[in-house]
Amino acid sequence: MKLGKAKTRSGVKYNIAEYEDSDVLLLVQDPTKLTRLTDVLNMYLGNKTVSVEASDDLSEKIEHAGFARKMQTVTADGQSVEVPAPEHDTNGKFIDAAIAALVAGSWRPANFTLPSGDDKHKETAALAFLQTLAETCGNSELNGSKCYMPSLEKTTRTGTGGLLPKWAMDTATQILNAGLATKSRAKH
């Protein structure tokens, strides 16, 4: 084993013992450890590669079903840039907003009937509806069902280096490239 660093969202790194190739070869010789290694590999690939693609696809399916992502236009020196509103600026927030709209009855897509009863009952129905959309997502097919095919060849998606979403970094880059930050600072 070798000493490595585990990254966190906050930017702090922790020491972690990392497996080397020879360690993994020894692990796969034991059937119980091979089963555990398979579980960990599937969990890792599911969380690191597939879940990002799946939330992108589910958000797209929700938009196609009629729930619009709230956008806002930012204008600076005659340049208009359209970005998601803060309440929809990530796929997670957008999906949560879709669930809330289904529960509240403000979004009524085809094939969804809002049940009567308390909010917990309505939320269960909303999640069941989103599950039907999720069943149609995937980049492959296995046993007659759409699915995501994890791959060891794919590069693991990582953050942009900070806590800011990609659209915010893109907008900031546009502002800096246009020299708007300097003009604004001089103006104020």
Strongest mean pLDDT among 3-7, 10-14, 49-53, 67-71: 67-71
Does 49 have pLDDT greater than 70? no
Strongest mean pLDDT among 22-26, 51-55, 83-87, 158-162: 22-26
Query: Using alpha carbons only, what angle is made at residue 128 by residues 50 and 113, rounded to the nearest 5 degrees?
Result: 140
- Full-model pTM: 0.67
44 close to 151: Cβ distance less than 8 angstroms: no
What pLDDT does residue 122 have? 95
Does 163 have pLDDT greater than 70? no
What pLDDT does residue 13 have? 83
What pLDDT does residue 162 have? 53
The domain segmentation of the chain, as residue ranges, is 2-151
Single-letter code of the amino acid located at 87: E
Read off the pLDDT of residues 120-155 as tens digits, 9 standing for 90 and up: 999 999 999 999 999 999 888 999 999 988 777 766
CA distance 55 to 49: 11
Beta strands in the chain (DSSP E): 2-7, 13-18, 71-76, 79-84, 140-142, 145-147
DSSP SS3 for 17: strand
pLDDT category at 165 given cuts 50, 70, 90 is low
Query: Using alpha carbons only, what angle is made at residue 14 by residues 8 and 19, rounded to the nearest 5 degrees?
Result: 100
Between 181 and 31, the more confident residue is: 31
Between 115 and 11, the more confident residue is: 115
The secondary structure of 49-86 as a DSSP string is: IIHHHHHHHHHHHHHHTT-PPPEEEEEETTEEEEEE-G
Task: Using alpha carbons, select from 166, 146, 131 the residue that is nearest to residue 50.
Answer: 146
